[in-house]
Structure 1
Amino acid sequence: METGGNGPPKPIWNIVMVSAIAAGIQFGWALQLSLLTPYVQTLGVPHVWAAFIWLCGPISGLLVQPIVGYFSDHCTSRIGRRRPFIAAGACLVAMAVFFVGFAKDIGHRAGDSLDNPTKPRAVAVFVTGFWILDVANNMLQGPCRAFLADLSGSDHKRMRIANGWFSFFMAIGNVLGYAAGSYSNLYKLLPFTTTTACDVYCANLKTCFIIDIVFLLSVTITAITTVKETPLKSNGSLDEGEGGSSEPFIGEIVTAFKTLKKPMWILLLVTCLNWIAWFPFLLYDTDWVGVEVFGGKVNGSSREQKLYDDGVRAGALGLMINSIVLAFMSLGLEPVSRLIGGVKNLWGVVNFILAAGLAGTVWITKVAEAWRAKQGPQILTSPPTNVKSFALAVFGLLGIPLSVSFFSFFPLPPIKRKEKTY
């Protein structure tokens, strides 16, 4: 995606307004990560198959963002290159979360039995909405970041400030989303969400997604109506002379890979391994707390289901703590990196922190299992305070490497300066 330009940078308030869209995007992502893995299991999808539904994230990111980026770069709409895609993405998100949140109700009206633990029609609606949601999120994020680069002009410092604000609002959205997901009585704000097919847990999820729709559309409409964009002329040039490469984006990717040097290949490999490590935690974190830490089961006895729900909410609280740490780290990455000798050192250190945090989840699981074995199989109760505290501490600790993972391009400038090319 072509970003930036030769024009002067726009005022900071423009950057802040566009960055605020990230809060709306991440509010929905937070709900996805904290609530949907447990929720899909209540529809009858086995635990081992839940991960396959999440494949849409990396697949849509791989396919949708380059395609959207290409058409956004060449969009000649009179309202600009980025705003049409941002508006379309927000509308798609609203439609998708409606399908996800109301999957049980739609499935029940379509013929799903309340007595059958497997609800195939609800699963079909959920998966359709879920995949649309991932596509829409990717459709939103790429043009938003490109819009920030356009607003920053050729000022690299302004671009770093823009990315800082974007990451900060991502953290704000995370905090709000995880806070909403951890509150068990949110459905009382919208009593109509409780139906024959939808219990309290489901009603809470529906209420969260309705709030998400209102929040995302509000920040998106505010940003695209108050921040003006220079349109692209039909001949491919900007009105203010901000040109970009006319080479097709596939050609740009091929050219970039041909010129990559060894340090960049190593960086890309470590980034790949970094996200391989992140995804299991991001997908199963609340489920891990519900099953492994609290000892609950999705389809167990009423007491086991209660423990599982308590664990999921505790996990959502942990994710909120994670996001608070991420928010503070996002605004302090540059001074911290200078303090420890540069962004490359920072990136290396946080990868070791990530490894330590993930290893901590294994230790906490073993401690919780040992405590339950000591209590006996007949006693089903929440884990002791120290176990829950350690679990929440791991969530908070992992906020440090996650903030840097969102800024994984930071190590690139030193390598570029050293080798003069990517």
Structure 2
Amino acid sequence: MTVPERSRVRLKRILRVASLGCGVQFGWSLQLSLLTPYVQELGIPHAWASLVWLCGPISGLLVQPLTGHMSDRCTSRFGRRTPFIVAGAVLIIVAVLIIGHSADIGGMLGDAGDGSFRPRAVVAFVLGFWILDVSNNMMMSPCRALLADLTGKDHRRTRVANAYFSLFMAIGNILGFAIGSYSGWWTIFPFTITSSCSINCANLKAAFILDIIILIITTYISVTAAQELPLNTGNILTHSSEERQQYFNHDPEAFFCESLGNFRHLSFPVWTILIVTALTWMGWFPFLLFDTDWMGREIYGGKPGEGLNYHTGVRMGSFALMLNSFVLGLTSLAMEKLCRKWGAGFIWGISNILMSFCFGTMVIIPFVVRNMELPQYSLPPDGIVIVALLVFAVLGVPLAIAYSVPYAMISTYTESLGLGQGLSMGVLNLAVVMPQVVVSLGSGPWDQLFGGGNSPAFSVAAFAAFSAGLVAIFALPYSNLEKPRGRR
């Protein structure tokens, strides 16, 4: 099974293909900054808000490896990856329309107004949320694999391509968090306000309209620049019937048997990458789940639906995430030089230690605020807000590395095992989603057990990130990945 040989792809073309990261991450940033607060406005308690996010890791556990595997073998005349990318974009558009109009759907079906539990709106929201996460996962493996296809065995360009993708993810974050931090979109799109959809809901709906526009533009730029060639299956006709069945069998049961079998052949560096990735995301997911909620609750002292403090804090959290994305983008530009000079494993480990320090700071700051005994509904001191903003900004450094280095490393090391790039990205994704399942199930009840705040989840995150840093520093190779090790 081969793809027709192509000459060395220009970086300008790789840059255009990587631009899809902006469209996908734009919607993801809106999801991260606005949806946890919004679902609590619909009446779901904070202790159970994390369960809504359980759909992400579950769909990622199944969808990313399966779509990666299927795209490795896709014989469409449009190419291997493009059909999955376009289908994922269409499903994202459907999902955000459902989420943005969930309150309206609930109202049409008989929900009461603001301030009460709205079960029908929650059902519509969760349905759209699940479709959105499935769609995101459907796009990510083929997109990462497409970049690996274009760079081939040029490991330096593989790292550059993943750094470009990380850069565009940062740009998408900046745009998304900037839009999430602005509270006046309902005045630009006045039709978004309805009897069931208040100002906060209307701002969310308008933000998703902008998401649709940006996703369409970046998807078009990416798939037209890719110029994928159909899979060359001519030489497969000379293979045995068993080999042909292996190449073209899309049966899910056969796929998962094949995937589990591949774990037997993973080398020690690959297993180490998977372990560090799992620990890293055990640290990241509590932050991504509760970042703006932490700012609204722990720093501004508010609660969803009670006064202005919480929503002011959520908007400030979105602004902080925008600063985080600026740092993420700058770090992505320097990624190749850092890895070439210090080694990818060492850089990844140091970044996780830095991440652990930041999460520890996020546990300490609310303790300081509570001991200030501020008047109810008063805004926090400027110094506290500045420190919180700095912590969010500094976290952009390890996030940029988490978005790029593991993918470049896994692409390099699984090449010697003969895994397709789509399947190898799916294997790495297993190490991302399994910790997310644990966090989604445990963080809300765990936080509620210790008083209802976010500090317990961030304490676990700090410990996991520190552990990941130690493993990366002492177990991952320091080389620049030009000569990966063979099997063990």
Q: Find 1:274's aligned residue among 269, 280, 295.
A: 280
Would the alpha carbon gap of residues 117 and 255 (structure 1) be closer, same or farther in structure 2, given more than 3 Å must change? same
Counterpart CA distance in 1 for 2:26 and 2:10 is 26
Would the alpha carbon gap of residues 205 and 226 (structure 1) be closer, same or farther in structure 2, given more than 3 Å must change? same
Cα deviation, residue 66, structure 1: 1.3
- Residues 3 and 150 in structure 1, CA contact (< 8 A), matched pair in contact too: no
- Partner residue, 1:242: none
- Partner residue, 2:351: 350
- Partner residue, 2:308: 306
- Partner residue, 2:191: 192
Q: Does 1:173 align with 2:172?
A: yes
Q: How does 1:154-173 map to 2 (within 5 A)?
A: 154-173=153-172
Counterpart CA distance in 1 for 2:106 and 2:72 is 40
- Residues 354 and 401 in structure 1, CA contact (< 8 A), matched pair in contact too: yes
2:280 partner amino acid: N
Counterpart CA distance in 1 for 2:235 and 2:295 is 52
Cα deviation, residue 12, structure 1: 2.4
- Partner residue, 1:391: 388
1:160-193 Cα deviation digits (max 9, x unpaired): 2211111110000000000000011122221101
- Partner residue, 1:241: none
1:354-410 Cα deviation digits (max 9, x unpaired): 110000001111111122x1x34xx42110000000100110111111111112245
Counterpart CA distance in 1 for 2:484 and 2:208 is 47
- Partner residue, 2:243: none
Would the alpha carbon gap of residues 8 and 175 (structure 1) be closer, same or farther in structure 2, given more than 3 Å must change? same
Q: How does 1:204-223 map to 2 (within 5 A)?
A: 204-223=203-222
Counterpart CA distance in 2 for 1:97 and 1:3 is 37
Secondary structure of 1:269 counterpart: helix
- Partner residue, 2:401: 404
1:290 partner amino acid: G
- Partner residue, 1:291: 297
Greater RCO (Cα-Cα under 8 Å, separation 6 or more): 2
- Partner residue, 1:370: 371
Would the alpha carbon gap of residues 5 and 59 (structure 1) be closer, same or farther in structure 2, given more than 3 Å must change? farther
Would the alpha carbon gap of residues 74 and 54 (structure 1) be closer, same or farther in structure 2, given more than 3 Å must change? same
- Residues 162 and 408 in structure 2, CA contact (< 8 A), matched pair in contact too: no
Would the alpha carbon gap of residues 227 and 292 (structure 1) be closer, same or farther in structure 2, given more than 3 Å must change? same
1:336-370 Cα deviation digits (max 9, x unpaired): 2344x322221111111011000000111111112
More displaced, 62-71 or 316-325? 62-71
Would the alpha carbon gap of residues 115 and 174 (structure 1) be closer, same or farther in structure 2, given more than 3 Å must change? closer
- Partner residue, 2:337: 335
More displaced, 409-418 or 286-295? 409-418
- Partner residue, 2:486: 420
- Residues 294 and 383 in structure 1, CA contact (< 8 A), matched pair in contact too: yes
1:420 partner amino acid: G
Counterpart CA distance in 2 for 1:236 and 1:291 is 61
Secondary structure of 1:408 counterpart: helix
**Structure 1 length-normalised TM:** 0.90
Cα deviation, residue 43, structure 1: 0.6
More displaced, 406-415 or 324-333? 406-415
- Residues 180 and 318 in structure 2, CA contact (< 8 A), matched pair in contact too: yes
Counterpart CA distance in 2 for 1:318 and 1:312 is 10
CA RMSD of aligned residues (A): 2.4
Counterpart CA distance in 2 for 1:235 and 1:202 is 54
Would the alpha carbon gap of residues 226 and 336 (structure 1) be closer, same or farther in structure 2, given more than 3 Å must change? closer
- Unmatched 5+ stretches in structure 1: 239-244
- Residues 337 and 346 in structure 1, CA contact (< 8 A), matched pair in contact too: yes
% identical equivalent positions: 47
- Residues 8 and 154 in structure 1, CA contact (< 8 A), matched pair in contact too: no
Cα deviation, residue 114, structure 1: 1.3
